[in-house]
Amino acid sequence: MNDHEARSSRFGDPVPTRAGFDAAPRNTAGYAGSEVVSAYAGGDDHEAEASVRPRRLAEFIGQQRVREQLELLLAGARRRGTPPDHILLAGPPGLGKTTLAMIVAAELGAGLRLTSGPAIERSGDLAALLTSLGRGDVLFIDEIHRMARPAEELLYSAMEDFRVDVVVGKGPGATAIPLELEPFTLVGATTRSGLLTGPMRDRFGFVAHLDFYTPEELEQVLARSARIMGVALTPEGGAEIASRSRGTPRIANRLLRRVRDYAEVRAGGVVTREVAHAALAVYDVDPLGLDRLDRAVLGALVNSFGGGPVGLTTLAVAVGEQPDTVEEVCEPYLVRAGLLARTPRGRVATAAAWRHLGLTPPPGAFGTQGELFEATESGG
Ligand SMILES: Nc1ncnc2c1ncn2[C@@H]1O[C@H](COP(=O)(O)OP(=O)(O)OP(=O)(O)O)[C@@H](O)[C@H]1O
Ligand SMILES: [Mg+2]
């Protein structure tokens, strides 16, 4: 598909196939990528993203702190001629974890191997992969929190001492054969850093938490993508798309592709504010870019629980999701957008959330004057 595959092919036996990598099931109860504002990759995303993916750190927009820290980490490693510390990239989907992993390998001029936690079923698969790594290679494990426990334990010694014990045989005759590995850098990505075990987390020398992008940063992402795709996008058109992209470059790029279709078919090709607005209305894109799960969470909070407070688990059951999906994938953006608040008593819909759903916030709703929760509940 692109150059990381070309690089990895020199190792022969690919444990992680591209298909296996992409087909790793998402634990998202069927809404993954099924709508235009989902943060998960789906539909035509994989093909389209490859062409607009930044290749070097200098092209990577936003995430200022993470970028600066990574720059230092990589520069130090290059000076010393040794692989950098293992890197953990944590954050909601579509913010650039895979992109950064590829950039790390590119900046180091290192080979890159890609796999994902669910694709590593047996520790033997992982051992084969690890022993095939060349000196200084980058091993990217996506969704690392979903790796099977025996494989995870094998990874500990690989990360710490560049050594694995491969068990040969079964039962009383089984022997562990220690194998030396070439020094490598593990880049792990996770959307659920809370599910990572302590020993796993401790073995990463560098942990980067990716945050949602500001509208201005998304405008830069869109301007860059439009240039690459040959789309005529005015700054106002970019701003209109950015404001509905849920702080997520993947969504911004996807909306740009949908708006381009509309512009070409119905509006002479130029994406102005008016064209973007009309196109996004056709695709029924939420004005704040909320996806179906976001809206389900707010809807349940308001309609079933009177705006809260309600506990995370109860809320998750009400929308048919895992609590950690709600907490780590959905809530961060709702909190950031000022629609949901986490209080000591539970989750609360803000007045803005009621209004966003077209309802009148009750007196005392969070975020109105005389609000109840912050004032009276925060101690309990
Ligand atoms: N900082 C950025 N600048 C420009 N484009 C970006 C940036 N971050 C991400 N993108 C774009 O968004 C797309 C999605 O990013 P990426 O695949 O790296 O997300 P991810 O965090 O790995 O998501 P997931 O959790 O679903 O694996 C990329 O193809 C890229 O085009
Ligand atoms: Mg990814």
Q: Is the peptide bond before 14 cis (omega within 30 degrees of 0)?
A: no
Per-residue pLDDT, 369: 56
Q: Are 339 and 352 in contact (CB under 8 A)?
A: yes
Active-site choice (97, 192, 203, 347): 97
Say if strands 175-180 and 163-168 run parallel, antiparallel, or are unpaired: antiparallel
Per-residue pLDDT, 372: 46
Per-residue pLDDT, 346: 93
Q: Which atom of ligand 1 is nearest to the CA of 95?
A: 21
The beta strand positions in 3-110, using DSSP E, are: 87-90
CA distance 27 to 43: 17
Quick check: is 115 catalytic? Answer: no
Q: For the chain, which residues score pLDDT lower than 70?
A: 1-34, 368-380
Secondary structure of 214-233 as H, E, C letters:
CHHHHHHHHHHHHHHHCCEE
Ligand 1 close to Cβ of residue 60 (< 6 A)? yes
Per-residue pLDDT, 170: 83
The one-letter code for the residue type at 209 is: H
- Give the residue, out of 4, 31, 87, 98, with the most ligand 1 atoms within 8 A of its beta carbon, to mutate for a pocket test: 98
In this structure, which residue's CA is closest to atom 30 in ligand 1? 53
* Residues in the 5 Å CB sphere of ion ligand 2: 97-98
pLDDT in tens, 319-349: 999 998 899 888 999 999 999 999 999 999 9
Ligand 1 close to Cβ of residue 190 (< 6 A)? no
Ligand nearest to the CA of 93: 1
Quick check: is 345 catalytic? Answer: no
Ligand 1 close to Cβ of residue 49 (< 6 A)? yes
Per-residue pLDDT, 23: 37
